[in-house]
Amino acid sequence: MNDETNIDDTAASEADTGAPSFEDQLNAANEEIVSLKDRLLRAAAETENVRRRLEREKTDASTYAMTGFARDLLGVADNLRRAVAAIPADTAFEAVKNGIEATERELLSVLSRHGITRVETEGQRLDPNRHQAMIEVESDAHEPGHIVQELQAGYVIKDRLLRPSLVSVAKAKADTA
């Protein structure tokens, strides 16, 4: 019985001195454990997010690393097209024309193998994300806002625009009344 009195006296003296009780200490420790567990889970989630972002950036970097080189090659493709268009219809130049066209096809094939494809323009409505309107022309054959002619081909690399198509766009005929 004497031991019980000592325990009660100790508890009473702790309450009197302002020292935290065992339950208060236990609750504080549990709160700290919950807080630390939450911080640990958040840190683990942040680490996983950083890992995923870095993996995505690494993939993008390897996929789009050749963008500058590809843009430079597009000028070569344009010049080959211009060379074919500049050759007269004379039969003496037919072999030269065929050679230039074969070179152009090979270049476009190489670009295609690396995910670089031409932007569609024929019969399309102007898409400011893929086309750049250079001029507007009156046209009965096309609806306003639709592409009339491609002035320079545009290209995409995978899903990113490499170069927009330069186009002329139809506009409604002006009333002459």
Instruction: Tell me, yes or no, whether 53 and 68 share the same domain.
Output: no
Q: Residues 135-177: pLDDT tens digits?
A: 999 988 888 999 999 999 999 998 899 999 999 999 887 765 5
Check: pTM over 0.75? Answer yes or no: no
Instruction: Tell me, yes or no, whether 71 and 96 share the same domain.
Output: yes
* Residue 94 amino acid letter: E
Instruction: Tell me, yes or no, whether 121 and 71 share the same domain.
Output: yes
Which of these, 54, 98, 74, lies nearest to 157 by C-alpha position?
Answer: 74
Instruction: Tell me, yes or no, whether 53 and 72 share the same domain.
Output: no
In a domain, 176, yes or no: no
CB 150 within 8 A of CB 167: yes
* Domain extent at residue 28: 23-57
Instruction: Tell me, yes or no, whether 95 and 162 share the same domain.
Output: yes
Instruction: Tell me, yes or no, whether 90 and 41 share the same domain.
Output: no
In a domain, 2, yes or no: no
Q: Residues 29-40: pLDDT tens digits?
A: 999 999 999 999
